[in-house]
Structure 1
Amino acid sequence: MHFIPEKLDDYVVAHSENEPELLQQLTRDTFRKILQPRMSSGPYQGRVLSMISKLINPKHILEIGTFTGYSTLCLAEGLQLNGTLDTIDINEELFDFQREFFDKSEYGTQINQHLGNALEIIPELNKTFDLVFIDADKDNYVNYFNLIIDKMNPGGIILSDNVLWSGKVIEVLNPKDKMTKAVLEYNTLLKEDKRVETVVLPIRDGLTISRKL
């Protein structure tokens, strides 16, 4: 979904950093082999994630929702040399696909894959994080936030994807639309929780940056 005119959006993309070759290959294979390929972050948002990670230079990153690993590799670009990235996904059919591309990158040994329910896995991670990216099932965004907030280092950044939910956040809520309701509740939480300060970026489907105080 474009929140600015498409021609202007094209200009923004054309004058931003180019997509690395490995990620171009990952995009091609995702569209050829994987169902719902548009769930991938895409080249422009990927460069945004990469830039934010490089600015933070995190030692430990947590990603909730791996899909084919595109955003994982973008976030890994900012890792410290001795840093780690833990990424969680529930779809076992994508595990080997992800690993193939992780190992083709220079960050393969730093990326730890976790297969299963993130609500069960996160409490078992014995580390604190400088950067977290939430991009999984929207109805658990609030639960993910409550699990990770105490695992964030002071000044740590939480990135949350799809917070504009194709513009549905400003439409009259259908009582049966549980996903939009969950996104609205999450956005309200980020605005009101005194442990974080938050700004919403109208990038693609909406990206929130929240900083732990």
Structure 2
Amino acid sequence: MHTLFEEFDDYATRHSADEPALLKELDRETHRRTTQPRMLSGHFQGRILSMLSKLVNPKAILEIGTFTGYAALCLAEGLAEGGTLDTIDVNEELYDLQRTFFDKSPWGEQITQHLGSALDIIPALGKKFDLVFIDADKENYPNYWEMIVPLMNKGGVILSDNVLWSGKVLQEVKANDKSTRILVEYNKMVKEDPRVETVLLPIRDGLTVSRVK
């Protein structure tokens, strides 16, 4: 069913910055080579990620959940000169596709891929971050949050994706729906965390922006 919200979304996309050619190509490859292309950030959200990154102008970005690398490339657009982006995923089958498009971009040498558990990899990086994008397994969102906040530089920004979870956060949570239950708890936890100030944006599947005090 086509809704008025979808019409607003289409209008917003048409009146936002154009999608870069490299990202259009990656979008096509994602639809061709993966079974869940809807996981892609896409044109409109991608331009939002790019804009937020440019406003922060981060020296160090962390992404949890790479998928095919679309969001990473959007975030990289705002990197400060000499800045770095570390992106973590568990799916080694997409590693080469990610690398191909990273290397086609101006930021290939600044982007480092990591395979494995983010909870194991993040402490080993030995870094503090200016911008973090959480877009991985929902059941670990609270664990990622508690690990990341102490690693943020003052004024740093944490972005949490899929926080509306297809509207399930507004419905009665089914007993066996662990992901929705944890996201409901996560949204409350983030909003009430005194270390940050937070706004939840109803963009696509929900994007929370949290600024570290």
Please tell me the TM-score bracket, short chain as reference: over 0.9
> Could you tell me which amino acid in structure 2 is paired with residue 211 of structure 1?
R
1:13-92 matches, within 5 Å, as 13-92=13-92
CA distance in 1, matches of 2:4, 2:41: 18
- Compute the displacement of 1:7 (Å): 1.9
Q: Which residue is equivalent to 1:211?
A: 211
CA distance in 2, matches of 1:159, 1:198: 10
- Compute the displacement of 1:3 (Å): 8.4
Write the deviation string for residues 135-188 of structure 1: whole angstroms up to 9, x where unpaired: 000000000001111110011000000000011111011111101001011101
The secondary structure found in structure 2 opposite 1:12 is helix
Q: Which residue is equivalent to 1:95?
A: 95
Normalising by structure 1, we get a TM-score of 0.97
- Compute the displacement of 1:2 (Å): 8.8
CA distance in 2, matches of 1:10, 1:184: 28
- Compute the displacement of 1:8 (Å): 2.0
Indicate if the aligned counterparts of 1:2 and 1:204 stay in contact, CA closer than 8 A: no
CA distance in 1, matches of 2:99, 2:81: 20
Q: Which runs of 5+ in 2 are unaligned?
A: none
The secondary structure found in structure 2 opposite 1:74 is helix
CA distance in 2, matches of 1:11, 1:95: 34
Count of residue pairs brought into register by the alignment: 213
Q: Which residue is equivalent to 2:114?
A: 114
The secondary structure found in structure 2 opposite 1:163 is coil
Q: Which residue is equivalent to 2:168?
A: 168
CA distance in 1, matches of 2:120, 2:3: 36
Indicate if the aligned counterparts of 1:191 and 1:197 stay in contact, CA closer than 8 A: yes
Normalising by structure 2, we get a TM-score of 0.97
Q: Does 1:199 align with 2:162?
A: no
Question: Structure 1 residues 207, 4: CA separation in 2 closer, same or farther (over 3 Å shift)?
Answer: farther
The secondary structure found in structure 2 opposite 1:136 is coil
Question: Structure 1 residues 193, 2: CA separation in 2 closer, same or farther (over 3 Å shift)?
Answer: farther
- Compute the displacement of 1:5 (Å): 2.3
Question: Structure 1 residues 68, 201: CA separation in 2 closer, same or farther (over 3 Å shift)?
Answer: same
Write the deviation string for residues 48-107 of structure 1: whole angstroms up to 9, x where unpaired: 000000000000000000000000000000001110000000001011110000000000
Question: Structure 1 residues 2, 203: CA separation in 2 closer, same or farther (over 3 Å shift)?
Answer: farther
CA distance in 2, matches of 1:89, 1:83: 20
Q: Which residue is equivalent to 2:183?
A: 183
The root-mean-square deviation of aligned C-alpha atoms, in Å, is 1.3
CA distance in 1, matches of 2:198, 2:121: 26
CA distance in 2, matches of 1:4, 1:63: 32
Indicate if the aligned counterparts of 1:3 and 1:202 stay in contact, CA closer than 8 A: no
- Compute the displacement of 1:37 (Å): 1.1
